[in-house]
Structure 1
Amino acid sequence: MTNISMPKATRSHAEKRHRLAPLPDDAFQQFSEAVFADGALDGTTKQLIAVAVAHVTQCPWCIEGHVKAARRAGATGEQIMEAIWVAAEMRAGAAFAHSIKALEQIE
């Protein structure tokens, strides 16, 4: 397996993104803040969900950012790893469920 170096997001990237499209950038920031605010789910739970989703979507920046945010929100290493295992089971479960398509073709 090759180790592909992923660029790090910088303040310069954020400023350029904002300069090129300020209204959507502002709207996305507000949306993100609203989504991760405490509500029916607390912030720690929301960050654990984000960690799981980040693993399923395979976004290295999301994994890094949401693991850090989960830790800041009080999540333990054990909780983070358990969320990752839930994501892994769901991803594997989807592959298993979709095997029906192959089974239909085998017949």
Structure 2
Amino acid sequence: MYNESLFPKTTRELLDKKAALAPDNLEAWRNFSKTVFKAGALDEKTKQLIAIAVAHVTQCPYCIRSHTSQAMRKGAAKEEIMEAIWVASEMRAGAAYAHATLAMDEMEKQH
């Protein structure tokens, strides 16, 4: 389940402390994030589904929780979220297999 020793819960106190250490950077990041996730060529729900997939590939537990919640608020069905996760799974596994070409190339050099 949730391992607080590895991933402490986000608290207002921790958020405030992080913000105080680099307030200008945080404000710039928040503005960037708002811009990225607002509707454009892609609607907000689609952007959140993409974020869920990417969060699973980057393995960010905070991002997984946050973007799953946001996707549901934007109208994503549980089935859509799970399908996005399966797309991420395929891409991650596919990348490992695709990179086997590098190992094959190296093995051929040794032959």
TM above 0.5, yes or no, is yes
1:93: how far off?
0.8
* Count of aligned positions: 106
Instruction: Give the corresponding residue for 2:98.
Output: 97
The residue that corresponds to 1:57 in the other structure is 58
1:21 aligns with 2:46: no
In the aligned structure 2, how far is the partner of 1:22 from the partner of 1:57?
A: 25
RMSD of the alignment, in Å? Answer: 1.4
Cα 1:105–1:3 change in 2 (3 A) is farther
The unaligned stretches of length 5 or more in structure 1 are: none
TM-score of the superposed pair, with normalisation by structure 1? 0.93
How do 1:80-91 and structure 2 match up within 5 A? 80-91=81-92
3-state secondary structure, aligned to 1:9: coil
Cα pair distance change 1:31/1:3, threshold 3 Å: closer
Q: 2:56 is paired with a residue of what secondary structure?
A: helix
Cα distance, 1:20–1:56 mapped onto 2, change above 3 Å: same
Cα shift at 1:105: 2.4
Structure 2: which amino acid aligns with 1:9?
A: T
Report how far residue 4 of structure 1 moved.
Answer: 4.0
Q: CA deviation at 1:31?
A: 0.7
Structure 2 counterpart SS, 1:75: coil
The aligned amino acid for 1:88 is S
SS at match of 1:18: helix
* Cα-to-partner distance string for 1:20-60 (whole Å, 9 max, x where unaligned): 11100111111111111111110000000000000000001
Alignment identity in percent? 56
Paired position in structure 1 for 2:67: 66
Stretches of 4+ moved more than 2 A in 1?
2-5
- Paired with 2:72 and 2:2, the residues of 1 have a C-alpha distance of 26
Moved more, 5-14 or 55-64: 5-14
- The Cα of 1:17 is off from its aligned counterpart by 1.4
